[in-house]
Structure 1
């Protein structure tokens, strides 16, 4: 099996091995945290019962970080990325404990949103730092399998963490939504603490940046960050291939996000009972488990099939597979169709992501890589918010619309057609030295 072979080959690299420990623990905690947040925000019988309410929840949680997120990239190019992993997970631990207190004390909903927003923001910061640091510990010719293995192992860890929420629904079927959330959140806090400890196994400078940008006082730093972000955007646009790869990733995430929101609604109103949070959350956990299978298949097949063609061609193949997955939902709205579609569309999204990550890493100089992957995360958030807004405007309360699913099929094909016309090779761009 390609995945097993790739893991064995990469495992001999000490830096990759240590980064894997940190990522597994961090994303395992992510899975637990996401189940807790879902129980508190999207499966409470008194809240988020309509597409509009779910869209509002996504906007509140993601929009602020989308605004401040661009300033994170220059920080990843300015601070040692190993320290980001160490301190960032400690910050998340404190935030999760604060959320537990807020749930226990029945604090206002806005305070829960604020704390969850901060925790999610730090999470995107950590993922961007890990991705930006990967080329520092893996040879260039091993980036494709590394980009397949590491995110997939992280996805498996997140699925395992998320399964805790599903187990709770089985062993404690009478638990309230707050009880489900509390159990998952406490578990995530433990995982974040272990992830912070695992970051100490990585050398302080192992993840780069090799030449950190100059640290400045607050006023000058804000001004410099704005300028450096602009430099990053101009650089990616001039290089062409990473810019277009980010564009196709954003479009695919928007289409995937629409199905994700639909899955929440279908789990509440079709697969489960909206008045029984443990049943609805259990149904959604099953959907997520099937999606995890798709992510795993992408990790197994992408290094084998994707290596036999250009990264760009593999992305086009994945877009075609995504259209096929949506076509299944046009044909049928039965539970089997949703679960099968979840497997296939997750394969398509993850397979394309692996190729996009490799293109951005390969065609972006190290001094711009942190900014590139923070822009990546910003585009991810914008796409998810956009998908939630589209879902709120178009989906019925049940979450299923044959017409909408058909439109998504067409959009997948349109994105593939547009990306097929994008440049095949990166343009040489001299790296500019930022001035304070």
Structure 2
């Protein structure tokens, strides 16, 4: 792992915590750092996704007959599960052992999204739209997993890793807002196809940026027994369950509101407002968590996140309407961002021998899978928004109760 320091080894000082960080080339001190290159690639990825979403929300989404389209959406979401549930556990470890393997996955996800966006522009009015749109969703999730695997190789310590994740979350929110401006203008001038076409161009630029990422090896050695035991510890297991439930709530709320707004005949700006408040929540979460971690434990941040979701769910169930949707979206953005950073810190603390890149990719795969399952529920069973807000409150209340019981058992030595 290059130079061995106390921060780059496990407490035993024998094994590195993750892939060797890649520094600046001493022959080119002016060149951007590996993290800067990843940040640029990430900005292109989230900007392209935002443009694609704006184009579809403004054109295809509001012209669909959801009564007949519901089964197609459910089918393709089910197909989306396959890459994460079956392919990722088998292919992921092999990719991690190849030098530059994850970089090529990121490059491929960018290139395929550029091509798929181009085809979506041509097929917006045909049945080919469905597989192409959900192909975009799969590529987005695959990018997110590979990004999680690559981040540790761009920093030099666990402390830097926490800050890097926070910076990327902040960057995501800013990039989405910036992309929304030309996206909205293009939609007003040329419709959804023009906005999606701009997204294709952004993904093409992102492909070029991704090629500049350093070709690191995420995990040169297979997962060892010590790593497996640490990752199966009760503290990490309970935390990952809590984090999974929060991701499931995010997926559930996203699709429930999309279908509810569509059925109510809501104007496009209302859906845009809710999406904007969600991004504001992510942005606020990325700013708040680093300060929270200085005054309280990661477990308390997770508990507080679940409690806030529960309270917000109850309040918005009574408020209902656009105000309730915007408020719950923002609070879920804040809490999901806070919980994710707290979870990452728990893993770093309780699994010192675990390879960071491989570990975060593994958990991110699980979280993406639960997100899809959460999104499936309001598609299979039509749920009014106010009822859905209440269900989120109930789910969060159960989750916080189970997590608190689990923590008590851990402290009592019963697990």
Q: Aligning the two structures, in what range does the TM-score lie when normalised by the shorter sequence? A: 0.7 to 0.9
**Alignment partner, residue 140 of structure 1:** 158
CA distance in 2, matches of 1:58, 1:232: 36
Which of the residues 250, 253, 268 maps onto 2:247? 253
Provide, for residues 152-205 of structure 1, a one-character-per-residue CA deviation record: whole Å limited to 9, x for no partner.
312332343355544444x24xx6xxx41x323322222222223223444323
Which of the residues 186, 189, 198 maps onto 1:187? 198
Matches within 5 A, 1:26-425: 26-38=45-57, 42-47=61-66, 54-81=73-100, 84-85=102-103, 88-101=106-119, 103-104=121-122, 109=127, 111-138=128-155, 139-162=157-180, 164-169=182-187, 171-172=188-189, 179-180=191-192, 182-205=193-216, 208-209=217-218, 211=220, 234-235=228-229, 237-270=231-264, 272=266, 279-280=267-268, 282-364=269-351, 368-396=355-383, 399-402=384-387, 404-422=388-406
CA drift of 1:20 comes to: 1.4
CA distance in 2, matches of 1:166, 1:63: 34
CA distance in 2, matches of 1:366, 1:84: 21
**C-alpha distance 21-64 of structure 1, shift in aligned 2 (>3 A):** closer
Q: Give the superposed CA RMSD.
A: 3.5
Contact 1:89 1:192 in 2 (8 A): no
CA distance in 2, matches of 1:185, 1:165: 8
CA distance in 2, matches of 1:366, 1:38: 45
Tell me, what secondary structure is at the counterpart of 1:308?
A: coil
CA distance in 1, matches of 2:54, 2:298: 33
Tell me, what secondary structure is at the counterpart of 2:62?
A: coil
More off after superposition, 47-56 vs 137-146:
47-56
Number of residue equivalences:
379
Tell me, what secondary structure is at the counterpart of 2:232?
A: helix
Tell me, what secondary structure is at the counterpart of 2:385?
A: coil
CA drift of 1:393 comes to: 4.8
CA drift of 1:143 comes to: 2.8
CA drift of 1:379 comes to: 2.3
Contact 1:77 1:369 in 2 (8 A): no
Contact 1:35 1:165 in 2 (8 A): yes
Contact 2:54 2:183 in 1 (8 A): yes
CA drift of 1:366 comes to: 7.6
CA distance in 2, matches of 1:407, 1:94: 36
Provide, for residues 52-73 of structure 1, a one-character-per-residue CA deviation record: whole Å limited to 9, x for no partner.
6654453344445443232343
CA distance in 2, matches of 1:288, 1:106: 22
CA distance in 2, matches of 1:61, 1:153: 27
**C-alpha distance 68-195 of structure 1, shift in aligned 2 (>3 A):** same
CA drift of 1:102 comes to: 5.3
**C-alpha distance 331-98 of structure 1, shift in aligned 2 (>3 A):** closer
Unaligned runs of 5+ in 1: 1-11, 214-227, 273-278, 427-436
CA drift of 1:114 comes to: 3.3
CA drift of 1:209 comes to: 2.3
CA drift of 1:302 comes to: 0.6
**C-alpha distance 421-328 of structure 1, shift in aligned 2 (>3 A):** same
CA distance in 2, matches of 1:240, 1:337: 36
CA distance in 1, matches of 2:239, 2:346: 7
Tell me, what secondary structure is at the counterpart of 2:63?
A: coil
CA distance in 1, matches of 2:310, 2:36: 36
